[in-house]
Amino acid sequence: MAHYQFESEGHGPRAMLAFARQHTFVAVFGVGMPLLLFAAFIGYPILYTIWLSFHEWNGMTPEKKFVGLANYAYLIGDDYFYTALANNFKWLVVMLVFPVSLGFLIAYALRSRLVYAATLLRTVVFFPITMSLVAVGLMFLLILNPLFGAFDTVLRGLGLGFLIREWFGDYKVALYTLAVVSGWAFTGIPMIYYFAGLGDVPKETFDAARIEGAGHFSLIRSVALPQLRPVTAVVVMLTLFESMRAFDLVATMTKGAPFGKTNVLGYVVYLESFWNSRFGYGATLSVAILAISLALAALVLGKVLKGAFDD
C-alpha cells in the first residue's frame, strides 16, 4: 500500500510528486492549472516581449527583423522616454502624498468620531473607486474646462483667481493635473485600508496616550502610525501598482499633449506600438517598464517583508 502522506514532507521534486500522487485532484486543478495559465498568459508574454525587443515589427506583416540592441540604443536617446519616465515618478510622488495621507486623515477622523454623518462621508469618498478612469477623466475635463468649467469659477468666486492656469495646456502643470485627478479617484482605497487598520489597533493604546495628555497630532505620530506599518506597506504597494498603470487618464484627457509632455510610460508603449507601428520598440519600452517596476517592487518589498505578507 502506498505511503499515505499526512503532512508535507519537505520540498523538492520528490515531495511534489508524492503530493501529486496522493492529492491528484488538488495538484492538477489547484496548482498545475493556474501555473500553466500563468506560464501561458504571463510568463510567455514576458519572454516574448523581451525577445521582441531585439526585433523590428510593424504588427501587420509577419516578418520580424532582428536588430540586436538597436532599439535599446534608440531608447537611451529618446526624449519622449525620459519625459515619460520623469512623469511616472512625478505621478508616483503625487499619489503617495495626496491620496495616501488624505485617505489616512479621513479614516482617522472617522474613527475618532470627529465628524458627523461618518457613513455618508465614507461612502462619498469611496464612490469614485467604482468609476472607470475614463469617466473620471471626462468628468474633470468638463470641470477643468477654461471657459465653462466649474473649478475656475469656484476659484474666482473665492478670490483665488490668480491661481488659475491652463490646466491641460500649460505643460508645466498638465501632468500634475492628471496626477491629482487620479489621486481624487484613488483616495477611497487608502481610506478604507486605514479605516480597517485603525479598527484593529487596540483602543487602550490610544486611551493610555490620551491620559498622558496627547493631542491628535501626537496620537497620530506616536500611536496610530507605528501600529499601522503593515497597512501602510500594503497601501504603498497598491499606490505603486496604480501609478504604474496611469494609462487611462492620459488616453482620455490629454493623449500625451502638449507635445508629449503628459506622456507616461504605458502610454508611450501604446503610441509606439499601435500608432507608430513600431512594435519592436514598443517591446523595448515594455521591458524597461518591467525592469523599473520590479526594481521598485523589490525595494518596497525588501523594506516591508518584516511581516506584512506573512503566510
Partner 1 sequence: MAAVELIKVNKRYGGTQVIADLNLDIADGEFTVLVGPSGCGKSTTLQMVAGLESISGGQLLIGGRDVTDLPPKSRDISMVFQSYALFPHMTVQDNIAYGLKLRKVAKDDIARQVGDVSKRLHIDKFLDRLPKALSGGQRQRVALARAVVRRPGVFLMDEPLSNLDAKLRVEARSFLVKMHHELRTTTIYVTHDQAEAMTMGSKIVVMSEGVIQQAAAPLVVYNAPANRFVAGFIGSPAMNFIELNYADGHVIDAECGIRLAVPEPKRAALDRRAVARVVMGVRPEHFHVRPRDDRALVPPGSCWTIDVRQHLGHGTLLDIRNGPHRAVARSGADDDTLDDEVRSFAIDMDKAHFFDVASGLNLAL
Partner 2 sequence: MTELALRLPASRSQRLWRLLPKLSGTLFALLIAAVWLGPILLMVITSIKSNADFLAGPFSLPSSPTFKPYVDVWSGLGFDHLLWNSLVYASLGSALAVLLGLIPAFALARFPVPGKKLIFGVLLTGLMLPQQTVLIPLYDTLRAMHLLDTRIGLIIVHGVYGMPMQILALRAFMTTIPREIEKAAHLEGATDWQVFWQIILPLSVPGILVGYTLNFIAIWKEFVFGLVFLNSEANFPLTVGMLKLNSDRYISVFNLPAAGLVISQIPIAILFLLTYRKLSGGNFVGAVKG
Count CB atoms within 10 A of the CB of residue 182.
26
Binding to partner 1 (CB under 8 A): which residues in 241-260?
Answer: none
- Nearer of residues 130 and 162 to partner 2, judged by Cβ: 130
158 lies in the site for partner 1, by CB under 8 A: no
Query: Could you give the CA distance from residue 65 to residue 70 in angstroms, rounded to a whole number?
Result: 11
Cell of 300: 518596497
For residue 284, give the 3-state DSSP assignment. Answer: helix
* Contacted entry of partner 1, partner 2, none for residue 174, CB cut-off 5 to 8 Å set by kind: none
- Give the sign of the dihedral formed by CA 263, CA 266, CA 268, CA 274: negative
Residues 6+ apart with CB under 8 A from 122: 106, 110, 191, 192, 195
Distances (CA, A) of 289 to 55, 233, 240, 249: 18, 22, 13, 18
Which part of the chain contacts partner 2 (CB under 8 A), choosing from 31-39, 69-77, 92-100, 166-174?
31-39
Residue 19 within binding range of partner 2, rule CB under 8 A: yes
Nearer to partner 2, 29 or 89 (CB): 29
Report the site for partner 2 in 193-252 (rule: CB under 8 A): 193, 195-199, 201, 203, 206-207, 210-211, 216, 219, 230-231, 234, 237-238, 241, 244-245, 247-248, 251-252
Out of partner 2, partner 1, none, what residue 236 binds, judged by CB under 5 to 8 A for its kind, is none
> How many C-alpha atoms does 305 have within 13 Å on its Cβ side?
5
Is 171:84 a contact under the CB 8 Å cutoff?
no
The reply on whether position 141 binds partner 2 by CB under 8 A is: yes
Interactions with partner 1, residue window 3-32 (CB under 8 A)? 3-7
Residue with smaller CB distance to partner 1, 12 or 213: 12
Q: How many residues bind partner 1 (CB under 8 A)?
A: 6
Of the chain, the end-to-end C-alpha distance in Å amounts to: 34
* Minimal distance, residue 265 CB to partner 2, in Å: 7
Q: How many CB atoms lie within 10 A of CB 184?
A: 17
> Is position 311 an interface residue for partner 1 (rule: CB under 8 A)?
no
**Distance in Å, CB of 96 to partner 2, minimum:** 16
Using rule CB under 8 A, residue 49 touches partner 2: yes
Subset of residues 51 to 110 that bind partner 2, contact rule: CB under 8 A: 52, 59, 102, 105-106, 109-110
CB 260 within 8 A of CB 80: yes
148 binds partner 1 (CB under 8 A): no
Sites of contact with partner 1 (CB under 8 A):
1, 3-7
